[in-house]
Structure 1
């Protein structure tokens, strides 16, 4: 626009007056203007054109720039935006800078030793246990292509150290884990099938460092660059990515849940108390609350077709609370559908589906027999074991029977 051109002219006049190597330019989230118009093809092109003009101006006056540093989540058409600014050094996947965006274990112990002692006393944990809990909750981010350097999320760690008496809360999601680019993307896209929620995913390293336009965005690439997925290991030129820690896996489950429940969360559909009932060991309440969640599913985009669908959805719902449900847990005689620990109680769930015309009572008997025959959950040394069978009606879209297996 004319106004934009005028601003660039004023900026150019300003830059030409500066001495050589006198200007430091720091730009955080350079992609933010593009994020707001990610679903507007015309607007996206105009913003990209304006950004290209701005960076071309910096390039033509590079004599005055001593240091230029940019951060951003998405490399939208990186080459077209920065085609003029071609002397940038992309350090996104460089092992040399792998610890730049978080705290390492060494840094945590060296610079936060007094805070760790204080937190340990306030929470009644020894320091070894505390460090282990912090690692599971906030560590695991990897930003370099060798997958050797892991770091803690700095914001979450600092928030915990400031108020350790509050426990290990989900600070990352509260402070920006629900990134604007992801929210805009989700307005016109759905996330992957819930069956893929906990699976390790793969992506070419070139897709993480190369350019991409709106139409070429993949949810795996987007989630990796937004911090939900992180590099776990690398084989040849393929990165295998997954959730870095419990905090992020819980946040991701919340996003999945909002998609699955058509924009609502478990509180809004009346199912949030399931976490309390799991800790209390109240099987009947768990049955009722899971039904509230399943009856609220957006069946157009997330149809429930089989046992694996039921299992995957239950895993996502339970993960929202910071629990770590595991599916297909093996022992020497078979495998259970889903297991989850809630305090001193270890839950084992066996799901069966019943189609139109089939007997739910027969399915219940089959499931109970399977749990007993395969000794589900018996391999664990736990204080309290609850084994529960649930029968899901594909026609009724709800659980119709349940029973505990003694």
Structure 2
């Protein structure tokens, strides 16, 4: 394709980056990945549905799509799969976005804002709240109005139902008061559910053992339903068909092939699975769209910077302690019950919270009740490493610690400077919380540090002759670190010689990579908390 034709193809359909309004997306001729066959399955019958997904997966756009369908019929669905399926009439639609209620500092302000939101939203379909009526409270007036409605009178859509609760995870008193206020509202909706044609609700976390879900126990929770595993997010086929021109453009900008671009998209942004068998998986839409908009910047970490670093998750982890670095990349077995429903809010499972926040995903089904969870891709793995690194060095500024400059240091500085920096960081770690007690924990701490500096090290990298401890690439170099551990410094010289021989005999790092090879044998002294002995092993550039 000529550059002119390519530009025409790109301009024919714009990227829907940041567009969460379905009507605006369609009117602006932006790419819409057609999910309407699944939407038809959900919307064609009376139902009350909940789906929980991480940030940046298009939940608000999905809610907006339902809104357009029920309010305007097929007006905005020309050429989409549902056009030949949908036969229903239009309905009044009430849409509530509870993320607007997440930053309220007191229960009184929350209740006032919730009443205002309900009164305003339902006024559009006929509800009139009379504040002068001191006999009937707000919810009593709301009940009375609902009781006058007929069957299937309107559609109710709630986006980010959990936002007000998650905003106050660190304040149990306020959490409980907000939960109570929301439960009263849901109890009213449940009592008069006959007037609902369709009720759809999204969130990030499911607080199952709260009074909210006792009021909504008749919901169809499709969060882990295989039939809807790809309702949110992009499949690989959807990327190939819907973004073909952008794939070609990215390959040209990066001077590579479309196949290579797609493989990198898989490695960095794919891998999210929301069904037990892990057979279906999707790409994070936000990251894919940002890459296609700026392909010349490479495969950056877009998710973390735009919502993958939830401040409240960090607050929670501070109270409950992040697992130790040696557990950083170890898969975890969990029951489906744990994944599908976060338990009591004050006893949240860290793994379940990380799953629902998008940091962990289903990797494999172990049996009918259990699955293995792990990081879905490099982007999330790096994001998690940054959380670990920040937590390990909680009281130290990233710039002061030099983590932000670590990649440049490895690319430009001599080994002596690099080892001195490692020792500086290890000395700054709180050893009561993050002890280095053996070779494995030493390697894990170093791995997290490198990833916290936005690098992707290979751990125990296999070669024809063995496995090196850590290897990491920078633009001009490939580093190999072979580690040994001495609790008190004894036998340090013997351990160093063993590490040197391993590098030499097994030729670690010598596979073709076109970079300067720097192989370093290092012995960590547990008592002194530093790499006390190290040696660069001579090697040729590969």
With structure 1 as the length reference, what TM-score do the two structures score? 0.91
For the 8 Å contact 1:277–1:283, the answer to whether it is kept is no
> Within 2, Cα distance between the matches of 1:307 and 1:266?
25
For the 8 Å contact 1:392–1:399, the answer to whether it is kept is yes
Is residue 81 from structure 1 mapped to residue 249 from structure 2 by the alignment? no
Q: CA deviation at 1:345?
A: 3.3
Q: CA deviation at 1:95?
A: 0.8
Q: Which region of structure 1 is more displaced relative to structure 2, 268-277 or 299-308?
A: 268-277
Q: Tell me: CA distance 1:79–1:38, structure 2 relative to 1, closer, same or farther (3 Å).
A: closer
Is residue 146 from structure 1 mapped to residue 277 from structure 2 by the alignment? yes
Q: Which region of structure 1 is more displaced relative to structure 2, 33-42 or 227-236?
A: 33-42
Match of 1:398 in 2: 530
For the 8 Å contact 1:228–1:248, the answer to whether it is kept is yes
Q: Tell me: CA distance 1:22–1:263, structure 2 relative to 1, closer, same or farther (3 Å).
A: farther
Match of 2:96 in 1: none
**Structural mapping, 1:149-298, within 5 Å:** 149-236=280-367, 237-264=369-396, 266-280=398-412, 282-298=414-430
Question: CA offsets, 1:80-113, max 9 Å, x none?
Answer: 3121223210001111101111001111011111
Number of aligned residues: 405
Secondary structure of 2:399 counterpart: coil
> Within 2, Cα distance between the matches of 1:157 and 1:274?
27
Question: CA offsets, 1:289-314, max 9 Å, x none?
Answer: 32232222122211122222110011
Secondary structure of 1:188 counterpart: helix
Q: Tell me: CA distance 1:10–1:121, structure 2 relative to 1, closer, same or farther (3 Å).
A: farther
For the 8 Å contact 2:207–2:341, the answer to whether it is kept is no
Q: Tell me: CA distance 1:162–1:381, structure 2 relative to 1, closer, same or farther (3 Å).
A: closer
Question: Larger C-alpha radius of gyration, 1 or 2?
Answer: 2
Secondary structure of 1:82 counterpart: helix
> Within 1, Cα distance between the matches of 2:292 and 2:467?
40
Secondary structure of 1:101 counterpart: coil
> Within 2, Cα distance between the matches of 1:124 and 1:377?
26
For the 8 Å contact 1:23–1:64, the answer to whether it is kept is yes
Question: CA offsets, 1:238-261, max 9 Å, x none?
Answer: 111111111100000000111111
Match of 1:31 in 2: 162
Q: Which region of structure 1 is more displaced relative to structure 2, 233-242 or 317-326?
A: 317-326
> Within 2, Cα distance between the matches of 1:322 and 1:151?
23
For the 8 Å contact 1:273–1:289, the answer to whether it is kept is no
Is residue 371 from structure 1 mapped to residue 371 from structure 2 by the alignment? no
Question: CA offsets, 1:259-289, max 9 Å, x none?
Answer: 1112546434123322123334742332133
Q: CA deviation at 1:123?
A: 1.9
Q: Tell me: CA distance 1:64–1:264, structure 2 relative to 1, closer, same or farther (3 Å).
A: farther
Match of 1:303 in 2: 435
Secondary structure of 2:183 counterpart: helix
> Within 2, Cα distance between the matches of 1:335 and 1:159?
36
For the 8 Å contact 2:271–2:377, the answer to whether it is kept is yes
Q: CA deviation at 1:337?
A: 1.9
> Within 2, Cα distance between the matches of 1:130 and 1:265?
35
**Structural mapping, 1:306-317, within 5 Å:** 306-317=438-449
Match of 1:126 in 2: 257
For the 8 Å contact 2:179–2:210, the answer to whether it is kept is no
Secondary structure of 2:214 counterpart: coil
Which residue of 55, 67, 91 corresponds with 2:198?
A: 67
Match of 1:48 in 2: 179
> Within 1, Cα distance between the matches of 2:232 and 2:530?
45
For the 8 Å contact 1:271–1:293, the answer to whether it is kept is no
Q: Tell me: CA distance 1:48–1:376, structure 2 relative to 1, closer, same or farther (3 Å).
A: same
Q: Tell me: CA distance 1:321–1:133, structure 2 relative to 1, closer, same or farther (3 Å).
A: farther
Q: Tell me: CA distance 1:82–1:218, structure 2 relative to 1, closer, same or farther (3 Å).
A: closer
Q: CA deviation at 1:322?
A: 4.0
Is residue 388 from structure 1 mapped to residue 500 from structure 2 by the alignment? no
With structure 2 as the length reference, what TM-score do the two structures score? 0.69
Q: Tell me: CA distance 1:370–1:110, structure 2 relative to 1, closer, same or farther (3 Å).
A: closer
